[in-house]
């Protein structure tokens, strides 16, 4: 039998601020529905335990609707054990708000507790700022999984987990899939969040699929997010006009799935002849992809020598800014805004 290790679902969380309200509502629902998709995966792939290593909910304010949905899914799947430790975000608020805790929802406390299965022992502890490991006594001859929420570099220092006969530390807290070794026997895994919520959570998201084979643990990352968030950086320095910019952006996004979400960041120094139509570009991307936004960090390419003998108002303006006492960064900004204003006025 296999075990799913997930964490940081952050249900009921506030999403990426740029999403319109309809998309925000849809995404919230998708995040919640993901939990049921995960259980469907478990049923199809002989998984009989799901470890949730904290931050199932985003805060202690949990909506009745979301809570009921999770409890209903757990109750509807008595063949699967859900082993859940709390994280720093929701603390006890989920457990404390359930009238009757389902029998297959295995909860923990602020002391280490162990559930014994035929293939391994699963021990866990609810979130606290300062974990006390003095009471952690695992059996050397058992395959041991420890569920805990925290940062391996701070409140959960790796040295605490060393030489304790742990085979797999099922962590939560870091939202990107990460694995490493603590000693010859002990491996730790952060599965990352199950779905990216904003552009600070870009890239493939999913869970860790564990299999106990004899006295060894094998695990692999399984991509599972409904939509992946991407940040695409496009250097437009070599573009000659806006059609070029558009083509380059589309080319850079070419292998992204249409159901995904994209943030395009324009960088580089652009030609004075380019008249940007970022909103048009944004419309184009939003037609093709589920959601797209454009951040324009490109700056005007100005070669002062080109304007030494330019007698136009533009030349005069640029020369004046360049010999001013402004910082280089401010000079660039003033020139950019000034030129744009001059161009708009068709001077
Ligand atoms: Mn988290």
Query: Do 334 and 252 sit in the same domain of this protein?
Result: yes
Q: Give how far Cα 112 sits from Cα of 102, 125, 171, Å.
A: 21, 5, 15
Ligand 1 centroid to Cα of residue 173, in Å, is 4
**pLDDT score of 67:** 94
Ligand 1 centroid to Cα of residue 171, in Å, is 10
Query: Do 69 and 124 sit in the same domain of this protein?
Result: yes
Query: Do 215 and 268 sit in the same domain of this protein?
Result: no
Q: What percentage of the chain has pLDDT greater than the value 70?
A: 99
Query: Do 12 and 83 sit in the same domain of this protein?
Result: yes
Q: Distance between CA atoms of 204 and 179, rounded to whole angstroms?
A: 15
Mean pLDDT of 227-231: 96
pLDDT band at 82 (very low <50, low <70, confident <90, very high): very high
CA-based nearest residue to 232, from 283, 292, 299: 292
Q: Which domain holds residue 19?
A: 2-223
This model's pTM is above 0.75: yes
Ligand 1 centroid to Cα of residue 101, in Å, is 23
At which of 223, 255, 275 does a domain end?
Answer: 223
Ligand 1 centroid to Cα of residue 300, in Å, is 40
Report the SS3 class of residue 3.
strand
**pLDDT score of 344:** 66
pLDDT band at 159 (very low <50, low <70, confident <90, very high): confident
Ligand 1 centroid to Cα of residue 172, in Å, is 7
Query: Do 139 and 242 sit in the same domain of this protein?
Result: no
Ligand 1 centroid to Cα of residue 117, in Å, is 28
Ligand 1 centroid to Cα of residue 211, in Å, is 24
At which of 203, 223, 243 does a domain end?
Answer: 223
**pLDDT score of 27:** 92
The count of structural domains within the chain is: 2
Mean pLDDT of 60-84: 95
Mean pLDDT of 94-117: 95
Establish how many alpha carbons lie within 13 A of residue 303's alpha carbon, considering only the half-sphere containing its beta carbon. 5
At which of 223, 244, 275 does a domain end?
Answer: 223
Query: Do 209 and 244 sit in the same domain of this protein?
Result: no
Mean pLDDT of 247-269: 96
Q: How far apart are the first and last CA of the chain?
A: 74
Ligand 1 centroid to Cα of residue 194, in Å, is 11
**pLDDT score of 305:** 75
pLDDT band at 347 (very low <50, low <70, confident <90, very high): very low
Query: Do 133 and 258 sit in the same domain of this protein?
Result: no
Query: Do 295 and 241 sit in the same domain of this protein?
Result: yes
Beta strands 187-190 and 178-181: pairing type? antiparallel
Query: Do 178 and 258 sit in the same domain of this protein?
Result: no
Ligand 1 centroid to Cα of residue 309, in Å, is 59
> Taking the alpha carbons of 255, 256, 259, 265 in that order, is the dihedral positive or negative?
negative
pLDDT band at 346 (very low <50, low <70, confident <90, very high): very low
Q: What is the mean pLDDT of the chain?
A: 92
Query: Do 54 and 159 sit in the same domain of this protein?
Result: yes
Mean pLDDT of 314-334: 87
Burial environment of residue 341 by CB neighbours within 10 A (0 to 12, 13 to 18, 19 or more): exposed
Query: Do 270 and 139 sit in the same domain of this protein?
Result: no
């Amino acid at each position: 039998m296999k075990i799913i290790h997930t964490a940081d679902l952050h249900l009921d969380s506030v999403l990426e601020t740029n999403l319109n309200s309809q998309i925000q509502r849809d995404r919230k629902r998708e995040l919640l529905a993901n939990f049921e998709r995960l259980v469907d995966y478990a049923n199809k792939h002989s998984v009989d335990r799901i470890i949730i290593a904290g931050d199932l909910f985003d805060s202690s304010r949990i909506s009745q609707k979301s809570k009921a949905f999770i409890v209903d899914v757990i109750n509807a799947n008595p063949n699967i054990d859900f082993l859940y430790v709390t994280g720093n975000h929701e603390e006890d608020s989920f457990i404390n708000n359930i009238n009757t805790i389902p029998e297959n929802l295995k909860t923990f406390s602020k002391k280490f507790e162990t559930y014994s299965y035929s293939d391994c022992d699963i021990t866990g502890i609810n979130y606290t700022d300062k974990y006390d490991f003095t009471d952690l006594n695992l059996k050397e001859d058992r395959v041991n999984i420890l569920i805990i929420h925290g940062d391996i570099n701070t409140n959960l220092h790796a040295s605490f987990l060393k030489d304790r006969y742990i085979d797999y530390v099922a962590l939560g807290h870091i939202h990107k899939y990460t694995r490493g070794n603590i000693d010859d026997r002990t491996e730790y895994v952060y599965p990352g969040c199950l779905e990216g919520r904003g552009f600070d959570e870009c890239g493939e998201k999913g869970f860790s699929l564990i299999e106990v084979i004899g006295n060894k643990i094998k695990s692999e990352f399984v991509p599972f997010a409904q939509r992946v968030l991407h940040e695409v950086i496009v250097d437009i320095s070599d573009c000659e006009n806006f059609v070029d910019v558009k083509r380059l952006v589309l080319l850079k996004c070419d292998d992204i799935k249409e159901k995904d979400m994209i943030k395009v960041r324009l960088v580089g120094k652009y030609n004075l002849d380019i008249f940007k139509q970022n909103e048009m570009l944004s419309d184009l991307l939003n037609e093709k992809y589920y959601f797209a936004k454009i951040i324009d960090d490109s700056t005007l390419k100005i070669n002062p020598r080109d304007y030494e003998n330019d007698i136009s108002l533009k030349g005069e303006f640029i020369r004046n800014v360049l010999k001013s006492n402004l910082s280089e960064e401010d000079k660039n900004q003033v020139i950019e805004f000034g030129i744009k204003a001059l161009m708009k006025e068709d001077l």
